[in-house]
Structure 1
Amino acid sequence: PRPTQQTQTFIPNTSGGNLPEITSELLNSYIHSSQWHFIKQLAPKITPSLITSALLDLHKNPDLAFQFINHLGFRRIRDIKTRCIAIAVISGLSTSKPTLQLLKETLNSGIATIQVVFNELAVARDELRIRSSTVFDFLLRVCCELKRDDDAFKCFYMMKEKGFVPKIESCNDMLSMFVKLNRPYKAWVLYAEMFRMRIKSSVCTFNIMINLLCKEGKLQKAKDFLGFMESLGIKPNIVTYNTIVHGYCLSGRIEGARLVLNAMKSRGVQPDSYTYGSFVSGMCKEGRLEEASRMLEQMKENGLVPTAVTYNTLIDGYCNKGNLEMAFSFRDEMVKQGIMPTASTYNLLIHELLMERKMVEADDMLKEMGEKGIVPDSITYNILINGYCRCGNAKKAFSLHDEMIHKGMLPDIVMFNALIDGHCTNGNIERAFSLLKEMDRMKVHPDEVTYNTLMHGRCRQGKVEEARRLLDQMKRRGIKPDHISFNPTRLTYNALIQGLCKNQEGDLAEELLREMVSKGITPDDNTYFSLIEGIASVDKAAESSNS
């Protein structure tokens, strides 16, 4: 039995002034007559003991209990025993939403561990003589919603110890969470426990486990699982087949996916847009664009409408092949089908236009985006800035960079590298170094490309010593655990060797060559060409001084 008086752990509303003493009888009368304004006024006097007493009286009326807790303010109750009594009573409602919300608030508040919450719910359940163990399933579901995988497992095993069998829906929530959090080991441990506890798997259970097998690349085992579920009398659905088809297509095994497609059709399960979309994606990934196009036609013949993602996949495939004509034809087709092009659609087309140095057309596409109300995203700006830098229009690239910052978008390492390269190419080395400082401010860590570009810039200026200092800085950053590990590349050494040779510092160049080889970096033709050119220039200088 519970003690008659508990420690005052209710957070009072101090605005009430002088208030009369409140008894259980008075509180119950206010609750049953729905005089919530009086309860709010008397809140400072309502102790956990009074709340518990009222809830025990209301255990057969969860609707009224929920109204009482709602008006009182659940967050102000800091006593875990009282909270769990409230949750246990309210779990009797026809809808699960209030119970899940109260459990979520309790776990998020940090006032008790999962073990304490479970034990107090068990005490409350016994005291209220509740036969169902549903409240523990609710606790499991909340752990999954909050992505607390360890707490979910603790709750599962505590249920097992108490002799409560979790519902299959709760187990599926756990399995799904483990897959999403990339905890395959935990998923298989749970699945084995379910098997031992004779918890009957549903089609959803099998779909989750088949998805896990596909993610692990175990496609044959996924197909075996399909046979296993059929042997148990569980009929696979469209999700089951789509998961396996997607797994095969993702790994480039199109013929294997076709076999699954034939199997699903033979069992009376018709492919949907997702099925065909997986084939289109897999075929494009393998460069089988004509087959992907035919699959799209087959999809439409079967009365299915392709999604923007499917069209974007084909557009991407043809852009990668440099076939802008076909890419644009699919863009036009999706518009005719009433499918609105997305930012991704335009990003793909703009990228390919800039790759082909069609800057006017790329500008037109950007304008078209604005006209159609499609907002350019950070990827759009990345593509444009990289493209304009590559095409030599650094001014436009820097303007877009400023526009992007103004819109609250943060540049990434690729964009910074493009801008730094643009400045170095234009001879604005100091501006390039100011961008390095901007990267530090934005916590964007420079990489090998950043340093190589800056070293090239310094070498072109003839400031080889400053370039060497950059190499030292690069090495220093490499040993700091809070930074990306930097390893000077062949490009790094070639830039410095070329700069030293131009400055007729052959001894230092040879020293760098030895360092390069000692680090396992093989010199190439450019390395030796720079050294030979440097030696030749030294010889010429010596000859002219002797003559």
Structure 2
Amino acid sequence: MPFLGRFSQLLQRPQQLTLLVGIGFRFYSSDLEFEIKRITKIINDHPFPDQPIRPTFAQVIPSAIISTSFVENVLGRLFATHSNGLKAFEFFKFSLQCSEFCPSSDAFEKTLHILTRMRYFSKAWELIEEIQKTHPSLISLKSMSIMLSRIAKFQSFEETLQAFEKLEGKLSDGKQFGTDEFNLLLRAFCTQRQMKEAKSVFNKLYSRFSPTTKTMNILLLGFKESGDVTSVELFYHEMIRRGFKPDTITFNIIIDSYCKRGRFADGLRLLEEMEQVNCFPTLQTITTLIHGAGIAQNTTNAQQLFDEIPKRNLVPDSGAYNALMNAFIRSGNMKSATRLMDEMEENNLLHDNVTFHTMFLGSMKSSGIDGVLELYHKMISKKFVPKMPTVVMLMQHFCKNHKVDEALGFWRYLVESGYCPHSHAMDVLLRSLCSHGRVDEAFECSLQILERGRHLSKTCFRVLEKYLIEMGDEDKLKKLNQMIKKLQIVLPPSTGHAVGFSSFSQDCVASI
């Protein structure tokens, strides 16, 4: 393997090796980047749990390349590709056994995030307990926040409070948690827009902790995310009444709340109030207002705010460009939006997922499927893999316009790139393939999901089940059922996941 030969040479030159490993995410060696992509794809493609994955790690991952940066980036890609959480867990445990590897908080947090996103809480607690014994310094406020936020999302109010108490018992070394940990608990509920629960916790534990402006901002943000401008205004006044001084984050939250409700003028008024109290606007403040001007279809103000960014000694980033781009698209000005996209490249600003998602929406409205396909091929040529909302949107648009070949080609591009597409994308593609008589291809896509350790949705399985029964293809239906049952042994299904044959299909299979 060319990479290993070059890596062996680097081992003889420690200074170059240090430079290679020490540099940041975007700037490591192209050889190392290739190896990260290769290992990620091997992990995603591995037929787990049909075969144990540890022996594969030992065969394909030389101990010489297992560095902190390598492990962090593989886990980051596994997270982005919606990999099976157990595979990521096994990879992290494998890396811990390598004597040269020094685990980082980032690697631990990514593993924890992957597990909890798939609701594998027993494994997440197992991971926390193991790290607490072996590398207690890795456990941070961020890792606790990941755990509490996911429990708040998928479990009950009482279970979230119990998790908070459990973390306090395990991690506080006999001391009680303080305000920072209290803020994490509030954030867990606010992130899920569970404001009734957040206020209940706040009122119940207010006397035990010492809330800060950050505490109040977390609650304010929760009200904003709930879309209730009145509650935002009322809580802001309560915050002032309690003696808390608003900061830049406070003003940014309220401005965002106004802008998302189309109250752009109120956002501008608050900007003036902010400056009057020597609370200087940040790039986020201006970007939020540009977005608000777009919602109000006021492209003149949007452009003016964008042009003011350098005058405020700020530098526009991708977010600012995306906000102005969105403003142009909302007003039907695709020409100016496209010009901005080109300007980003001229200024060495990468097109991110928001850039492509925004431009795809504009293309759908202005030029239809032809414009979408042109932008799609541009994105693919850059080897850019969009996030799942964009994947689902494109899949729906292709299938709606009867571009089944493009939809299937997009699916294969994602899989070949080492990604495991979301079940929503699978549902859309499978329906379209089956309705066009391409049931065998739909079946193969379903196998790819299951082989990568991900559940099929009930909707997906029922559609495929119906067509396979009509075709009299008992073998394919049995194979799907066997793979679903086998996966359930290690990864219990959640609501909405396929659990196997329906009673109707059992009768049909028996009669075939």
CA contact (8 A) 1:252 1:283 kept: no
> Residues 395 and 219 from structure 1, CA distance in 2 versus in 1: closer, same or farther, beyond 3 angstroms?
closer
Alpha-carbon offset, residue 299 of structure 1: 1.7
Aligned to 1:208: 184
Matches within 5 A, 1:68-467: 108-110=95-97, 147=112, 149-151=124-126, 154=129, 175-182=144-151, 187-192=160-165, 194=168, 199-232=175-208, 234-388=209-363, 390-392=365-367, 397-410=372-385, 412-415=391-394, 418=397, 432-442=403-413, 443=415
Query: Measured at CA, do residues 352 and 243 of structure 1 come closer, stay the same or move farther in structure 2, by a change above 3 Å?
Result: closer
Displacement of 1:243 in angstroms is 1.0
Asked which structure has the greater RCO (Cα within 8 Å, sep 6+), the reply is 2
Alignment of 1:464-543 (within 5 A): 469-470=436-437, 485=459
Give me the TM-score of the superposition, normalised by structure 2. Answer: 0.51
Q: Is the 8 A contact 2:189 2:198 kept in 1?
A: yes
Amino acid at match of 1:414: M
- CA 1:358–1:257: 2 relative to 1, 3 Å: closer
Residues 448 and 285 from structure 1, CA distance in 2 versus in 1: closer, same or farther, beyond 3 angstroms?
same
Q: Which has the larger radius of gyration?
A: 1
| 1:155–1:435 distance in 2 versus 1, CA, 3 Å | closer
CA deviation string 1:478-536 (max 9, x = no partner): 998856646999xxxxxxxxxxxxxxxxxxxxxxxxxxxxxxxxxxxxxxxxxxxxxxx
> What is the alpha-carbon distance in structure 2 between the residues aligned to residue 414 and residue 264 of structure 1?
40
User: Aligned partner of 1:273: which letter?
Assistant: T
Question: Are the structure 2 counterparts of residues 348 and 146 from structure 1 closer, same or farther at C-alpha, using a change threshold of 3 Å?
Answer: closer
User: What residue identity is the alignment partner of 1:387?
Assistant: G
Deviations 1:387-440 (A, max 9, x none): 34543386665444333222211363434555677xx6xxxx8xx454244124
* 1:245–1:257 CA contact under 8 A, matched in 2: yes
1:259-288 C-alpha deviation (Å, 9 max, x unpaired): 443344345432111111111222223333
Q: 1:416 to 1:347 in 2, by over 3 A?
A: farther
- Kept in 2, the 8 Å contact 1:168–1:201? The answer is no
The CA distance in 2 between the partners of 1:268 and 1:216, in whole Å, is 27
1:141 and 1:170 in contact (8 A); partners too: no
Per the alignment, in what secondary structure is the counterpart of residue 231 of structure 1?
A: coil
Name the aligned partner's letter for residue 147 of structure 2: F
Structure 1 regions of 5+ residues with no counterpart? 1-74, 77-103, 113-137, 160-166, 456-466, 490-547
Deviation at 1:252, TM superposition (A): 2.7
Aligned counterparts of 1:150 and 1:278: Cα–Cα separation in 2? 34
Q: Tell me by how many angstroms 1:146 deviates.
A: 5.6
How far does residue 310 in structure 1 lie from its aligned partner after superposition?
3.0
Paired AA for residue 393 in structure 2: V
The count of corresponding residues between Structure 1 and Structure 2 is 336
For the Cα contact (< 8 Å) 1:214–1:247, is it kept in 2? yes
Structure 1 pair 349–176 and aligned structure 2 pair: CA distance change class (3 A): closer
Instruction: Calculate the aligned-residue CA RMSD, in Å.
Output: 5.0
Q: Residues 451 and 324 of structure 1: is their aligned pair in 2 closer, same or farther, counting only changes over 3 Å?
A: farther
Instruction: Report the TM-score when normalising by structure 1.
Output: 0.48
SS in structure 2 opposite 1:211? helix
Identity rate, percent:
18
Q: Distance in 2 between matches of 1:174 and 1:375?
A: 29
Kept in 1, the 8 Å contact 2:183–2:218? The answer is yes
State the alpha-carbon separation in 1 of the partners of residues 109 and 428 from structure 2: 42
CA-to-aligned-CA distance 1:31-87 (integer Å, 9 cap, x gap)? xxxxxxxxxxxxxxxxxxxxxxxxxxxxxxxxxxxxxxxxxxxx99xxxxxxxxxxx
CA distance in 1, matches of 2:192, 2:396: 35
Cα distance per residue 1:433-476 (max 9 Å; x no partner): 54244124224686787799x89xxxxxxxxxxx9644978998
